[in-house]
Chains A and B, each alone.
Chain A
């Protein structure tokens, strides 16, 4: 996957992963991909719902030990 930007939100608790993701997303062009790293388990459901409501595509997600990785394409 061609990742345009990586956001490291590890160690941050809700709502910060979404707050930061949203900010990074604003700097991207439509079609670009943001990779997000988080450790807050609640981020999974929230990023999914947030991406949907904002018209972005959650392309994939993966668990790597304690770290959750998400790839979101800007809509």
Chain B
């Protein structure tokens, strides 16, 4: 029996469709505990491949017979070995092609809406890591917001849609993933914008992303709204008067953490003001499109991550803490661990270091951890 490869794209579709399947994760216990493929209908066992070298008999009895089985490891080599051993025992399994590295890099484009004067808005769901990027397309022009390192995916997508990328924005200097913004701008001649307050130490030229800036994309526009707190420069966008890209300030079921640049105490007041003053003044019908999701339950049925601002005002705990001290405590104390390699990721996004691709891939392994709940 030969073992089948399953692509990250196929696994993503199973997760979005909430299909039942079983994962035998053969990475070491720490790697599994830190980060794994998440989904509402997935069962797991974690047995490191090096405990299976003498034979897989022990694990066979733990495998279900009523659902597909996927063997997962970091890069794929060990999962192929284990899948072949299982296959020799007569168990029908697949392995994840490219392993967790491919899972971390997979982007699933999902259309989130039509623009008023024609045009479309797409969300790129990086399902393995929880990062969300956007592309607004109107009359052959496009704007990209918070692009991930995999720049080619955005370049190819725009080309498929017959659009020229004119503007590339990052809502802030990211600490959890490496931005593809500069690369896309270089490849297309588009303008690359960064909030100047986040960009004091960057080593490249950029356009200043300031409050009130309006960028025209075909027959629609992208407007910048300064909303500091996750970083001091964090800026949100209102697109087509319908959509609010809230960056890492406001998520669906959580809010941004202010500590990833080491200044939690200084920025907590800004975070409070952005969420409790600036956003309160916006139209409640806006659809909030954040830069991350944290848990798979935040995905809508179509795989998108989006909710009306009015609903978030009602349901998001982080928007409903009237006591200011309680809010301060929540966002500065008992914070989750920081993202993997976040300091080197920030330096890479500033252009201070340029690690080769394999190292960049390694730096991004793990969940994003940009929120507090």
Contact = CB atoms under 8 A, between A and B. Distances in A.
Contact of B75 (A42, A49, A50): A42
Interface string B322-357: 000000000000000000000000000000000000
Contacts of B29: 49
Interface string B268-288: 000000000000000000000
Contact of A41 (B30, B48, B362): B362
B50 A22 contact: yes
Interface string A3-37: 00000000001111011001000000000000000
B75 A13 contact: yes
B30 A14 contact: no
Contact of A46 (B50, B81, B362): B50
A15 B78 contact: yes
B276 to A, nearest CB: 42
Interface residues of A, number: 15
In which size bucket is the chain B interface? 10 to 19
Q: Is the interface of B mostly helix, strand, loop or mixed?
A: helix
A49 to B, nearest CB: 4
B40 interface: no
Given A22-B53, A49-B48, A53-B50, A42 B30 contact: no
Contact of B49 (A13, A18, A41, A48): A18
Contacts of A48: 28
A18 B51 CA distance: 10
A45 interface: yes
B48 A50 contact: yes
A19 B53 contact: yes
Interface string A33-70: 00000000110011011100100000000000000000
B144 interface: no
Contacts of B28: 45-46, 48-50
Given A13-B75, A42-B74, A42-B75, A18 B50 contact: yes
A7 to B, nearest CB: 15
B75 A53 contact: no
User: Which 8 residue pairs of A and B lie closest in terms of their CB atoms, listed nearest first?
Assistant: A49-B28, A15-B78, A50-B50, A14-B77, A18-B50, A13-B77, A42-B74, A15-B49
20 contacts: A13-B75, A14-B49, A14-B75, A15-B49, A15-B77, A15-B78, A15-B81, A16-B77, A18-B49, A19-B53, A22-B50, A41-B362, A42-B74, A45-B30, A46-B48, A49-B50, A50-B28, A50-B50, A53-B48, A53-B50
Given A22-B50, A42-B75, A49-B29, 10 more contacts: A14-B49, A14-B78, A15-B49, A16-B77, A41-B362, A46-B28, A46-B50, A49-B28, A50-B28, A50-B50
